[in-house]
Chain A
Amino acid sequence: MIDVVDVWKSYKSGTRTLDALRGVSCTIEKGRFAFIVGPSGSGKSTLLYLLGAVDRPSRGRILVEGRDLTAMSEAEQNDYRRDTVGFIFQSFNLISNLSAVENVLIPFMPRGVTAEQRARAVDLLKRVGLGDRLDHHPYQLSGGEQQRVAIARALVKQPLVVLADEPTGELDSKTGDEIYRILRSLQESLETTLVVVTHDRRFITPQDLVLEIQDGLLADDAEPAAGFATGLHAAD
């Protein structure tokens, strides 16, 4: 379970201070598929990366399975990112000098990859349909295939939470459908909590949690039904 308690995030640019988040509170239950939606610049990515302990909030607390991210030391945050949370980015962010399997194994690389971890990586790549692409490098893969490698990389650590920032933003709609199909099927079998930033409401289903964010604040009616309802109108 993720608990966000009155989180503020300010950026200082010169003399001006910009409040990207202005007191956000929410709860995401374990195993939920949650969406963060809202206009561009509303603070979606900021909130997502705070959940991943990539940055620290200016105020407030974030609890993941009872552990306070904001109270963690640098080293504890590193461990958290390595073991507990998986990231998927809009622009895939695979490392060009590494093959598909090696990209999946990045989290384990500094400590040495075990045979068990390698087997798990291969298995995940097979499950996302890349069994025959294990040793291909990113430039030999299409956008959709690269994003599937990124999904495998996020899941290889068997994370409690997977965070995705506009994972289909750079893909055509057919490939986007494919990515969501994979995300949903993997989430069901692995029981991970998924938090996805998107502005494409096509992929939201009635059971999902929708967090509407606007100007750094959550909309009051952030209910599943409401999210689904708005999703019927907005499409791009």
Chain B
Amino acid sequence: MGVFAWRNLLTRPMRTLLALIGLSIPILGVLGLFSLSDGLRNMVGDTLSQIEGVIVLRENTPSPVASTLSIGVVDKIRAVPGVRAVAPEVWGIAPNIEGQGMLMRAAGNLMSKKGAGSIWDQPVISGQDYPTHKDLKSAVFPRALKERGEGRFLDERDVGKSSIVISRKIARNFPNDKGEPRKVGDRLLVGEEDCEIVGIYETGSMLLDVVVVMDIQTARRILKMPVETVSSIYVEAQTPPGYQAVCAAIEAAEPGVSARSMNEVQANFGMLMGQVDKVLMMIVSLALLVGVVGIVNTMLMSTTERFVEFGVLRTNGWSQANVLGLVTLESAYLGLLAGVSGCVLAWLGTLVANQFVGGGLRLGVSPFSLLLGLGLSVATGVLGGLYPAWRAARMVPMEAIRLGSH
């Protein structure tokens, strides 16, 4: 019976193909969207889990790059009870590095077949105040350098100097004249400042691996920021009262700033992704609905043509359930085929997409989502086949025979 159902599908290859495309596209979409949301979750999760402290920003600014605070805020926060260390930072989008703007570099990369760069690769400057940063226990970059990097991190020798610590990715993205990655001891032109690379770190997070770390005064000079301002303030709390309480205390002491502990950001991000997933589910349901309609249409056409055939089967002892089973099996096969092609397309799609997205955003289709895709498409096939199957089974054999004998 399985072979029979299979052949019935293959008899009309064009129609089967169209139905297949109609269902495999939604499946492809489902897998693609889930892969994207997974990728984002992993990327941001990777980053957030490396940062433990509290980040103080101007209220309603999305990131340190967009925030400015007066230097006076630093002392006010230092006075908040429960605060252990307070480290001001300056952040900004890096001006041309080695004379190359981002667009120029992306275009150049395309020409030289190095693969397209992306906006994720835009370098960002972080200026750190050594006297306060040295007290931090949870600083990200020194740890990343010690664990997986080379050279040394910034210290008192670098205050006011143009020493920089860059990521391995930046070292690769801005090679020297011979095309080799920059090494510790090499020089790098950041804006108009000729800087010396003293260390190279690697966090593995694509959001962090774009940061050029330098002294806060040098950063102000390059970014042309006034001396009395900082972008953000990194705060570590004492174990009691803990981060939650310290955040609240900081916001109470200094209106106009927001203090976010990374736990909180992570929770917020989780909630955001939850919302995104809900929207995804809605899109998915719509797409699958379209798939079901396509299957219903295909199977209705196919069963209407074969009424006489069903009559013949019934006169040979096939029960209504047998006919129902045959037609449902056909549409289940259709769903399975669509699922397999959708999954293969999605897998190929992520391979291609990863070539272009680059960095830490890695798209993938997990075995779970492949199974989900297959399951969904088979379910869609069965669902779409039920009505046509029921119609075929319910038909009176007598009338079908009459149709066939005239």
Contacts and interface: CB of A to CB of B under 8 A. Distances in A.
A165 B316 contact: no
A95 interface: yes
Contacts of B308: 93
A45 B398 CA distance: 10
Given A54-B398, A55-B398, A93 B404 contact: yes
A109 interface: yes
A107 B317 contact: yes
A189 interface: no
Contact of B405 (A54, A96, A165): A165
B3 to A, nearest CB: 9
B401 interface: yes
Interface stretch (B4-12, B84-92, B157-165, B174-182): B4-12
A74 B322 CA distance: 13
Interface in B326-341: none
A136 to B, nearest CB: 15
Contacts of A106: 312-313, 316, 318
Contacts of A66: none
A79 B401 contact: no
Contacts of B309: 93, 95
Interface in A29-54: 45, 49, 52, 54
Given A110-B1, A165-B405, A87 B314 contact: no
Interface in A143-165: 153, 157, 165
Interface in B1-27: 1, 4, 7-8, 11
Contacts of B405: 45, 89-91, 165-166
A171 interface: no
Secondary structure at the B interface, as helix, strand, loop or mixed, is helix
Contacts of A157: 317
A109 to B, nearest CB: 6
Contact of B4 (A80, A83, A87, A98): A98
Band of interface residues on A: 20 to 34
A45 B4 CA distance: 30
A110 B312 contact: no
Interface in B348-406: 396-398, 401-402, 404-405
Nearest to B405: A90
Given A75-B319, A81-B317, A107-B316, A97 B4 contact: yes
A102 B1 CA distance: 10
B401 to A, nearest CB: 7
A78 B318 contact: yes
Contacts of B315: 52, 54, 81, 87
A22 interface: no
B314 A79 contact: no
A49 B1 contact: no
B404 A91 contact: yes
A153 B316 contact: yes
Interface centre among B308, B314, B318, B325 (most CB of A within 10 A): B318
Interface in A116-162: 153, 157
Contact of A87 (B316, B318, B325, B402): B316
A36 B322 CA distance: 32
B233 to A, nearest CB: 75
A141 B318 CA distance: 25
A107 B314 CA distance: 9
Interface in A53-99: 54-55, 74-75, 78-83, 87, 89-91, 93, 95-98
Nearest to A98: B4
Interface centre among B11, B314, B316 (most CB of A within 10 A): B316
Contact of B396 (A55, A74, A166): A55
Given A55-B398, A97-B4, A110-B322, 19 more contacts: A45-B405, A54-B314, A54-B397, A74-B320, A78-B319, A79-B317, A81-B314, A81-B315, A81-B316, A82-B318, A83-B317, A91-B405, A93-B309, A95-B309, A97-B8, A98-B4, A109-B1, A165-B405, A166-B405
22 contacts: A45-B402, A52-B315, A74-B319, A78-B318, A81-B314, A81-B317, A82-B318, A87-B316, A89-B312, A89-B401, A89-B404, A91-B404, A93-B309, A93-B311, A93-B404, A95-B309, A97-B11, A106-B313, A106-B316, A110-B317, A110-B325, A166-B405
